[in-house]
Amino acid sequence: MNKAQLVEAIADKMGGRQQAEHAVDAVLDGIIRAVCSGDRVSVTGFGSFEKVERPARYARNPQTGERVRVKKTSVPRFRAGQGFKDLVSGAKKLPKAGETSVKKAPKGSLSGGTATKKATTKRATTKRAVAKKTVAKKTTAKKAVAKKTTAAKKTAAKKTTAAAKKTTAKKTTAKKATAKKAPAKKATAKKAPARKAATRKTTAKRATAKK
């Protein structure tokens, strides 16, 4: 059965072929748009339509046997409901032509899509919470890195200051040692004239003795 045959099959129930065609188009368009946006379309007694993500993988060309890489993609999936499965397997008898084979929707499920709105709201809330957690983790990581950098800078500054103090202390000690040694040389220089005076006295004594 193709689309035209499906329209003909429900034309009597819809009051004409044109109304039936519009109804089929509207139902299919609604399902396609919902699945493309990531929503799950579930029809009680019939089945559910949903969007499924397929990761990148390797496959083989059936004609050549060559290994081919398949990119990541999204595909629609239909899962038949239990009532549909029971009718196809023969576990339940198919209703007569004038009766519908699809169960009626539960009360309250057709009141403007409240359940769908709640599910969408929950998904949006979950995504926001995940985004907030991710931002918080990144901020914490940045703060930790900043703390480590600051601590490293402080440690380096302390080491530099300590080295500078040691160098200054060594220079001061060397200057003091040099200053202490200088007076000894001066004292030695002062003693030299005393020897000359003694030599002069000895020479004078010798001259007096000769006379």
pTM more than 0.75 = no
Q: Write down the domain spans for the chain.
A: 3-89
Residue-level pLDDT at 152: 72
Joined together, the tokens standing for residue 28 give: 């299919």
List strand residue ranges (DSSP E) for the chain, in order: 41-43, 47-54, 57-60, 67-70, 73-80
**Bridge partners, residue 77, by sequence:** 50
Joined together, the tokens standing for residue 139 give: 């901020």
**Which carries the bigger pLDDT value, residue 49 or residue 45?**
49
Q: What is the pLDDT of residues 120-179, one digit of tens each?
A: 556 666 667 766 776 667 766 677 767 776 777 777 777 767 776 777 677 766 666 665
Q: Taking the domain 3-89, which CATH number applies?
A: 4.10.520.10
Distances (CA, A) of 91 to 48, 75, 211: 20, 31, 166
Q: What is the pLDDT of residues 88-130, one digit of tens each?
A: 999 888 888 767 777 666 666 655 555 545 555 566 666 677 6
pLDDT of 188 over the 50 cut: no
